[in-house]
Amino acid sequence: MVQNNTTIEFHATAGAFFRSDHLITVDDLDRVFNLYLPFIGATSYALYHLLVNELPFTKDSLKRQDHNFIIDSLNISLPNFVKCRRRLEAAGLIRTVYEQDARGEVYGYRILTPLSADKFFKEQLLSGLLYKFVGEERYLTLENRYDVQGQEKLIGTDISARFLQVFQHQNDLSIPTTPLVYQEATLQIDENDFKFDDFAAMIRGANLTEIKKHRNFLVAMHMTYGVDEVTLAGFVNQSVTLDTHEINEQEIQRLLRKQVTRTVAMETAKQQSEPIKPQDNIPEIKNTEARALIEIASTTNAQDFLGYVKVTLKNGLVLKNERDLVDYLIAQSALSMPVVNILVHYVLIGLQNDSLKAALVTTIADSWTQNRVDSPEKALIQIQQRQKANQARQEKRFSRSQKSEKTTPKFVKANANPPQTKTKVETSANNDETAAALAKLKNIKTKN
């Protein structure tokens, strides 16, 4: 298998197997058609639909298939198939595994169910792409279509019957269970830095299942705010609801932003060289200023770094939607915290934006994820490459404009002398000739 940043090359005779963890219904396909198709493309949707149709036949007959039937069914080339498959992978609709057996290469395709409409419109990466491709009017139409149906709010006392009031509990009933496979990626962290099991033991009022359900969010809060297990457990204990014993993520964010000071970021910045000044061109990695930026981005928590850039470098205020966006990038994206810090610095300082725009930030984050940017050094290289490409385009446009200005029209002599200023005598003579010509034209009679 040959793999690079853009494609995976293989032969059409490579084996293919399919599976799905959950039943994919017509409603799921309808959501993919309305919400995903505008940015994944019609061919990618057709590929997803074809793979779903192949699922019922693979459980009973697990015979090895190749990719020829996919290419022939969709009438696409092998590179286009890879391109469509990567779009489905990036959108979270399929996962691809690879191995080699005695007969050659084998690819396994795990078809995933699309997000529910409620989760889709809360997912900033996906909803932002939908908004970009369909526009505001269509976006609002789709959002209303998948919104709450019927009465917006029901007022009154809940008088619904409970389970044991209607059905008798059967203690001797043995029901076979099938474990459900989580489709969300687990946020990785060094156990020596943050021991999640020890942290979970300090949570009161919520069971272990409820705590694990919020694992990605809690680990992201540790990474973005730099709090240890004991401090974070104290905030979580304050957020647990008394009636439902659930963890309130918004309350945890509010407590962290209110009580956690940001003196660590300021002290770290003072220990470095002079503060990084706003500039259009990010320096090379060997530059002292770039090394200082990498050091600060690698040792400073994401929220502290955001506050350092907005308050110290730009003399502004940190907005709530900016903090939410940074929390989202740490919890949901594949980018590490230092890379997120470089991204924040690039958008605010390098591109001279007053605030973090979700559409711009998520677009750059998606590009860096596809290019496997896993370190601040690689992030700076990506920035340099982008700036060089922009500079090359500007120079090309400038050279074209200069060339067009120097080009002499065919009807003008190259050695023609510039017009000289006419004397008064010449001017009066020309005026007399013009008056005579006009008088002559008045005497000419036409049919009309």
Q: pLDDT digits over 13-68, tens only?
A: 888 888 887 888 899 999 999 999 999 999 999 999 998 887 765 555 456 778 88
What gap in Å lies between CA 101 and CA 106, rounded to an integer?
A: 7
Strand order in the sheet with 94-101: 65-66, 15-20, 104-111, 94-101
pLDDT tens, 143-191? 888 887 777 777 888 888 877 778 766 555 565 654 444 344 455 566 6
Closest CA to 347 of 331, 365, 323: 365
What gap in Å lies between CA 442 and CA 446, rounded to an integer?
A: 10
Residue position matching structure tokens 């090394």: 291
What gap in Å lies between CA 220 and CA 331, rounded to an integer?
A: 5
Whether pTM exceeds 0.95: no
Per-residue DSSP letter, 43: H
Specify the pLDDT at position 439: 57
Listed ranges 78-87, 320-329, 392-401, 429-438; the one with the highest mean pLDDT: 78-87
Structure tokens at 356: 């973090």
Across 8-76, where does the E strand assignment appear? 8-9, 15-20, 65-66
2-118: in CATH 1.20.120 = no
What gap in Å lies between CA 242 and CA 11, rounded to an integer?
A: 58
pLDDT tens, 188-237? 566 666 777 778 888 877 788 888 888 878 887 777 777 777 888 888 88
pLDDT tens, 111-132? 999 999 988 998 888 888 899 9
Which range, of 78-92, 319-333, 360-374, 417-431, averages the lowest pLDDT? 417-431
Specify the pLDDT at position 133: 92
User: How far does CA 391 lie from the centroid of its chain?
Assistant: 25
Instruction: Please give the helix or strand (H or E) that residue 2 lies within, else none.
Output: strand 2-3
Percent of the chain whose pLDDT exceeds 70: 72
What gap in Å lies between CA 18 and CA 20, rounded to an integer?
A: 7
What gap in Å lies between CA 343 and CA 306, rounded to an integer?
A: 10
Residue 208 and residue 244 in contact, taking contact as beta carbons nearer than 8 Å: no
Residue 371 and residue 5 in contact, taking contact as beta carbons nearer than 8 Å: yes
Structure tokens at 412: 């003008």
